[in-house]
């Protein structure tokens, strides 16, 4: 079930409700019994990005995804050569 956000102009309250798909876009306000309209709510996309940034700082070569030790050594050797040639 989706989480919908509603806003009531009468009491100026915004709240979220977990409801079935297809419910009316206007409902009775929980606080003042006025009419609350469903509003478009913001959503967060930073959690995954922050996690990825943190993982990339910890493991910039992506070695956590490489299972084969020989392949890991090859990646490390290439990075060492790249760093030596850029100095």
Does the pLDDT at position 82 exceed 70?
Answer: yes
Do 35 and 7 belong together in one domain? yes
Q: Is residue 70 part of a domain?
A: yes
Q: How far apart are CA 87 and CA 82, in angstroms?
A: 9
Structural domain harbouring 33: 3-39
Q: Is residue 44 part of a domain?
A: no
pTM listed for this prediction? 0.47
Measured in Å, how far apart are the chain's first and last C-alpha atoms? 56
Do 34 and 58 belong together in one domain? no
Number of domains in the chain: 2
Q: Is residue 22 part of a domain?
A: yes
User: Quick one: pLDDT at residue 22?
Assistant: 86
Do 35 and 8 belong together in one domain? yes
Find the mean pLDDT for residues 2-30. 91
Q: Is residue 34 part of a domain?
A: yes
């Amino acid at each position: 079930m989706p989480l919908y956000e509603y806003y009531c102009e009468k009491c100026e309250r915004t709240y979220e409700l977990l409801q079935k798909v297809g419910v009316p876009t206007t409902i009775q306000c929980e606080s003042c019994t006025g009419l609350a309209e469903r509003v478009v709510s913001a959503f967060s996309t930073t959690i995954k990005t922050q996690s990825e940034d943190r993982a990339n700082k910890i493991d910039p070569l992506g070695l956590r995804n490489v299972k084969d030790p020989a392949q890991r050594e090859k990646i490390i050797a290439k990075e060492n050569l790249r760093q030596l040639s850029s100095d």
